[in-house]
Chains A and B, each alone.
Chain A
Amino acid sequence: MDKIKIEILSILADDNRTDHKTIAAMVGSDEETVDRLIEEMEKDRIIMKYTAIIDWEKVHAESTVSARIDVQVQPQREVGYDDIARRICRFPEVKALMLVSGKFDFIVMVEAPTMMDVSNFVSGKLATIDGVRSTWTTFVLKKYKENEVIYGEKDSDHRQVVTL
């Protein structure tokens, strides 16, 4: 992939609100080129979505419970793991899904309003899918770091204002 595309991606990954004109200056290109490349990468689903990292605990308005569910499955002939994975993905409670090595096959990250909702989802929806052999649920108690951001830490500059 072009070096310039990778540069643009790394700038957007850090701050997706950086405007295209600024990005153009940062990568030594012009605004039209950056517009075009970003549009291309959106179309190719290289850039899949622009989002924000939010400390929901500070908002209080909406409580959510997060859990990680380790799932063992029986892979199926011809489709292997993909078919089961696709079925699990469709549930809106599922925020992330990964195939992993080790004792379990999938890690499923789930979010729901209450612990009961998570529990109902696991017993009613997830565990009953054909091919799912066992589940192991771990509730998240507190988040310290997510997407490279440390929760509760402020950007503070302790340097003197002017130094030579």
Chain B
Amino acid sequence: MSFDPQLYINDSIRQVKPSGIRKFFDLCAGSKDIISLGVGEPDFISPWTIREACVYSLERGYTMYTSNYGLPELRYEIVKYLAERFGLSYNENTDVIVTVGASEAIDMALRTLIDPGDEVLIPEPCYVSYQACTLMSHGVPVPIVTTEENGFRLTPEDIEKKITPKSKVLILSFPNNPTGAVMNREDLTALAEVAMKHDLIVISDEIYCELTYDGEPVSIASIPGMKDRTILVSGLSKAFAMTGWRIGYVACHPDFIAEMVKIHQYTILCAPIMGQKAAIEAFQSGRTEIEKMRTEYDRRRRYIVERVKEIGIDMVTPEGAFYAFPSVKKFGLSSDDFATRLLTEKKVAIVPGTAFGNSGEGFVRCSYATSMKQIVKAFDRIESFVDQLR
């Protein structure tokens, strides 16, 4: 009898779909002159002072494991940052784990909370890992569609409609990838009421929080009554341009941490010490660099908003992260066809909205984590493509 590996794969892994952008990689491969608005990471290199801190730590021989929770100095910096920036008070010894990116923190949080069959409310369109991690934890993902009409913000009514006795977790990811939507204090206060009323735990992915362009970022954990029931997930990837270092963190109630650290301990042990050393430097001296990058993203964002309007494409003004999420509905193409044709005919790479859930149909994600020059060129090409379609 022939050996069939497929027979051995478990159902929950089988249910997880591979990422929908493989096709775009293949189309880009070997093609020159492509301008990519498809990248989900900063175009800036980690500031030199941060890289230098890592090099220095290697020279001094810091190549060992750290505490499962992460270096105490780094946890101290994280707690200090959360206090200064969001007015939150955590204990660095009991309430924080340094993780391998925010992604690991999301996985750990879901695995810690979900019993088979528990429902996880996931506002869509959204980053791809929430649904996958829910399935891998044997939970049931329940998408909540956010709409253009509401500026892709999540409303209490949207949540209420999806609540069942099995609802246990609500995932929030604002500023949002791919929509660029931001929830202000008022919006979050309204959600907090629903979360408390229905006894939901909130996993709040705040990885893009520093990239908020109008006003100061707000964490749902800072809304009265929410701190204990919020698992705050964040990291250094986006704000400090440190994606490849894989340093994130989770801050929450010590009882959750005590359970999560078991997963972390037995699967990861600890985040790499080199990244942790760099992260300490980032917190201590990276503020100016964050501001510089934020200013630059903001200029690009404002340019795109103007340009998209001028070309005659509909779009909700993005208020955070580094993504614009225009609607392509009026051009009579699916998001996938629009993105594929734009790439093959005009050599501009963008991501179809459907990569972020079915509700992304009709939209495309344009990342502005690329230089102003490239953005101008890309939109010249988009304009000529759209003119062709009319």
User: Are A164 and B351 also in contact (CB < 8 A) when A25-B306, A25-B307 are?
Assistant: yes
Contact A159 B25 (CB under 8 A): no
A-B contacts, 25 of them at CB < 8 A, read A7-B299, A11-B299, A22-B376, A24-B306, A25-B302, A25-B306, A25-B307, A27-B299, A157-B43, A159-B43, A160-B25, A161-B24, A161-B25, A161-B28, A161-B36, A161-B39, A162-B24, A162-B25, A162-B28, A162-B39, A164-B21, A164-B40, A164-B127, A164-B177, A164-B351
When distances are taken between beta carbons in the complex, the residues of chain B under 8 Å from A7 are 299
Docked-complex contact A159 and B349, CB < 8 angstroms: no
Q: Which residue of A lies closest to B21 (CB)?
A: A162
Docked Cα-Cα span, A66 to B112, in Å, equals: 65
Report whether B127 and A162 are in contact in the complex, using a CB–CB cutoff of 8 Å: no
Closest to B296 in A: A14
Please determine whether B38 and A162 come into contact, CB atoms closer than 8 angstroms: yes
Query: Taking A11-B299, A162-B24 as contacts, is the C-beta distance between A26 and B39 under 8 angstroms?
Result: no
Whole-angstrom distance from the CB of B346 to the nearest CB of chain A?
Answer: 15
- Residue numbers of B with Cβ under 8 A of A are 19, 21, 24-25, 28, 34, 36, 38-41, 43, 127-128, 177, 299-300, 302-303, 305-307, 349, 351, 355-356, 372-373, 376
Do residues A26 and B372 form an inter-chain contact, with CB atoms below 8 A?
A: yes
Given the complex, which residues of B lie within 8 Å of A159, measured CB to CB? Answer: 39, 41, 43
Q: Could you tell me if B372 and A15 are in contact, using CB atoms closer than 8 angstroms?
A: yes
When A and B form their complex, which 6 residue pairs have the shortest distance between CB atoms, in order from nearest?
Answer: A25-B306, A162-B38, A26-B299, A25-B303, A163-B40, A161-B28
Q: Which residues of B contact A51 (CB under 8 A)?
A: none
Q: How far is the CB of A61 from chain B (nearest CB, A)?
A: 27
Q: How far is the CA of A154 from the CA of B264 in the complex (A)?
A: 40
Give the nearest-CB partner of A18 in chain B. Answer: B372
Does A102 belong to the interface (CB within 8 Å)? Answer: no
Contact A27 B39 (CB under 8 A): no
What's the least CB distance linking A162 to chain B, in Å?
4
When C-beta atoms are compared, the residue in chain A nearest to B292 turns out to be A10
Which of A11, A26, A157 is packed against the most chain B CB atoms within 10 Å?
A: A26
Residues on the A chain within 8 Å of B376, using CB: 22
- Cβ of A124 < 8 Å from any Cβ of B? no
User: Smallest CB–CB gap between A160 and chain B, Å?
Assistant: 7
* Nearest CB on B from A87, distance (A): 40
User: Which residues of chain A (58-97) have a CB below 8 Å from chain B?
Assistant: none
Nearest-CB residue, chain A, relative to B351: A162
- In the bound complex, what is the Cα–Cα distance between A157 and B306 (angstroms)? 26
